[in-house]
Amino acid sequence: MTTNNITPITLDLYSWNVNGVQDALKSRNIRQQMYDHKGVYLLQETHYLSVRDIQRFNTAAPICYQTNGLPNRNGVLLSIPQRNQNLTHIPSSINSGDGNGRLLMININWLGLPILLVNIYAPPSTPSERALFFDQIHSRLLNETLPIIMAGDFNCWMHPLDHHTNSNPANTADINSLNSLLNSLNLVDIWREYNPTGSRRTYGPLASKISRIDKFYVSESLMPLIPPEFCTIIPSPISDHSICKISLLAPNGETIHKSQWRFNARLLKSDNFKSCISGAIARFQQLIPGTSCPDEVYFKWYGQPKGSLSPIRDRP
């Protein structure tokens, strides 16, 4: 959506079940993703995070809110970019919900548009437990007047194309409770709305579990601000869940003018530049040992070196 170097102002939001951040290398790569691709991050299944863990995340995204719970596999984290003058948030609005590390809510203001962010990690155990969880959220949000962006790992699939069997979801208590919540609050599965015949999956450690259970549900009033090309699913080599991403346009249609960037070919002779690229490749190859296909490696680590170049690239 860029025309003659006129670019819309957008807010990027990422939802990602990271399946734990205690491993030092994995934690570093998650923080690198957050640093290279600035935006609002809604992380799930962070497991138990100590004060020191949070301090590490603050180096990538200076404003982080996190809630732990029992068992230690729970935990959700919400990070807000600090240097985005178009985005503010209300710290006093933070609500950790159920106390079990599965829910985190906060009010943000995007260029004058107030929005309630809801980060969810639904119970993976039984439909009845998930139904109770969804009912509790429904009760909390029943009288909410702000537009809502609800994202996370819902641990259930709602459409035949969301599951590798292409079968209809079971008529279980959790599906009914989530449907009731969505219908009551006028929330839309935005990726499915734009991809009615798509069959992308977001989770699949085992062939029998391949499904799309990680989603963004948004208020219908926000849909004009999220064009189809701003709603994507990004594979992640460091988690068994993909990253879900949406981008919000400015509510008043504001744009910015970006001058054309050209690569400075002299950097190819720079030791600093070559060291940066080599280091980025080496770090990523540690995450995918045994991968021998050059094309696969290239497409997986392309985003990381690209972000790593930002501090050293310049114009000729």
Domains and CATH numbers, the chain: 8-257 (3.60.10.10), 265-308 (no CATH)
DSSP assignment of 190-255 equals HHHHH-TT----SB-SSGGG-B--EEEEEEGGGGGGS-GGGEEEE--TTSSBPEEEEEEEPTT--E
* 155 contacts 130 by C-beta, under 8 angstroms: yes
Q: What is the pLDDT of residue 295?
A: 46
H helices of the chain, in order, are 24-36, 51-60, 127-141, 173-185, 190-194, 271-287, 294-301, 303-308
pLDDT score for 195: 95
Q: Kindly report, residue by residue over 34-86, the tens digit of the pLDDT.
A: 888 889 999 999 887 776 777 677 666 568 888 887 667 788 989 998 778 89
* Stretch 117-131: mean pLDDT: 94
Under the banding of pLDDT at 50, 70 and 90, the label for residue 313 is very low
pLDDT, residue 207, reads 57
User: What are the tokens at 96?
Assistant: 């950790």
**Residue 214: what pLDDT?**
96
**What are the backbone dihedrals phi and psi of residue 113, each rounded to the nearest 5 degrees, phi first?**
-100, 110
The model's pLDDT over 157-199, given as tens digits with 9 standing for 90+, comes to 999 999 888 888 888 999 999 999 999 999 999 999 999 999 8
Helix (H, G, I), strand (E, B) or coil at 79: strand
Q: Give the closest residue to 201 by CA, choosing from 229, 159, 171.
A: 159
